[in-house]
Structure 1
Amino acid sequence: MLTLHADSRGHAYLVRGERIEAVGPLEDLAAAHGHARVRAWPGILTPGYVNPYGNELLERTYHPDPREADALGTEPLTGAALAALAMDDARWGASARRGVQRMLAYGTVAVACEPLRVRAVQDAVRRTGIAVVPRPAPAAGPPSLNPFARRPEAAPPRRPGSAAHFAVFDVEDETELAERGATACVATVLSGRLVFRRR
């Protein structure tokens, strides 16, 4: 199935399955692919961002289940709070899935990390479809789910043939995005699938 993801500036990505087939003005792509479904988004299409804290946020942090809010709260747990929990494979895997979901809400399409060591986390991350890119050394500063907490690293530009990983931010341009940051994310797409949409 062909889908045209278009932003407020008339820029569009033509997606077939897991790949981007074409990039260009919506008007041109729609004329050439009249049978494609059009998904119009407010704001701008971007390649999305890389979170540099993959190991810290997925293997050294517990992301509580909403059903645990009364006992554990809703914020990620690290250090002594994490050490006090009885962590098994099922709990690590579920935490990693929730951690990735939280990253997706910030327009993150990839995590940078050293090799993940917890098997349940490896499996959970693979199933989410988020890209994993190597990092040569731990990232500086305190870990954050928000890639704009430090200077954000954008994913490579989307081109024909590249993976259909991208994010949409409800801003007028890159200047406003730099000012407002990742909380302006309205949608994140991984391998052509809409995996986050702000309601």
Structure 2
Amino acid sequence: MLTLHRATVLVVDPTAPSIPDGAVLVDGATVAAVGPYAALSDAGARVREWDGLLTPGLLNPYGQWLLETAYHPDPREELGTEPLEPAVPAERRGGSARLGLQRLLGHGVTALAGPFTLPAVRTAVTRSGLTAVPGTGAPGGLDPLAGATLASVVHRPLTVGGRADFAVFAAASVAELERSGAGCCLATVLGGRLLYRRR
């Protein structure tokens, strides 16, 4: 089934000019076309309208630390939503990793740095569908844009025939997104599937 994601502004590649009223045509798990909405609107696809900036998915370089060292508290624990660094019993590591992955999706993350050595974490990452890439294990936060540019944290540009991994943010431009951070994520699409949508 074809889905056309229309956004106020489309960023196919942060090093190229943005496309006002742009769209990404998704066929299954892949990108079928990108460009101005007017050029793609006759594709016979279901249309999702997004009021914001659509960008390629982000890479969080702190994935190993966030999922194997930090603890992601359950909302019922009333400890907040930021990762904590207490000692976590092995039996709670899988649940913590799953919560961490959900929170990463809520920041437009579609790839994260590993390696993941704990079996419960490795299983959670594999099941999530996020792409794991080599990393350093450095400590850091959920927001890959904290102190970074969009160009430095995009996992890969949107390309025709490539995997449909992208995010939509409540921002009108790249500069505004870099100022506000990835916490303004409205939606994250991973392999063509809408896995996160802000309520």
Q: TM-score, normalised by structure 1?
A: 0.87
Distance 2:49 2:39 in 1: 15
How do residues 142-157 of structure 1 correspond to structure 2 at under 5 angstroms?
A: 142-152=139-149, 153-157=153-157
Classify 1:7/1:107 alpha carbon distance in 2 versus 1 (closer, same or farther; 3 Å). same
Q: CA RMSD in A?
A: 1.6
CA offsets 1:36-55 (integer angstroms, 9 cap, x no match): 00001011110021100111
Identify the match of residue 69 of structure 2 among 44, 60, 65. 60
Q: 1:175 to 1:194 in 2, by over 3 A?
A: same
Match of residue 160 from structure 1: 160
- The residue number in structure 1 matching 2:16 is none
Aligned partner of 2:178: which letter?
A: A
Report the equivalent of 2:196.
196
Cα deviation, residue 77, structure 1:
2.4
Q: Which residue of the other structure, out of 17, 28, 31, is the alignment partner of 1:17? A: 28
**Structure 1 residue 74 displacement after superposition:** 4.5
Q: Cα offset for 1:13? A: 0.7
Structure-to-structure mapping, 1:18-167, within 5 angstroms: 18-31=29-42, 33=43, 35-69=44-78, 74-78=81-85, 81-82=86-87, 85-88=88-91, 91-113=92-114, 115-135=115-135, 137-139=136-138, 142-152=139-149, 153-167=153-167
Bigger-Rg structure (1/2): 1
Seq. identity, % = 50
In structure 2, the CA distance between the partners of 1:176 and 1:73, relative to structure 1 (3 Å rule), is: closer
The count of residues paired between Structure 1 and Structure 2 equals 185
Letter in 2 for 1:181: G
Shift in Å at residue 17 of structure 1? 1.1
The 3 A distance-change label for structure 1 pair 57 and 39 is same
Q: Which 5+ residue runs of structure 2 have no aligned equivalent? A: 9-19
Give the Cα–Cα distance (whole angstroms) in 1 for the partners of residues 177 and 81 of structure 2: 27
Supply the distance in 1 between the matched residues of 2:191 and 2:125 (Cα, whole angstroms): 14
Rounded Cα–Cα distance in structure 2 between residues aligned with 1:73 and 1:38: 35
Partner SS state of residue 41, structure 2 = helix
User: Which secondary structure state, in structure 2, belongs to the residue aligned with residue 122 of structure 1?
Assistant: helix
1:183 is displaced (CA, Å) by 2.1
TM-score under structure 2 length normalisation? 0.87
The residue matched to 1:111 in structure 2 has which SS? Answer: strand
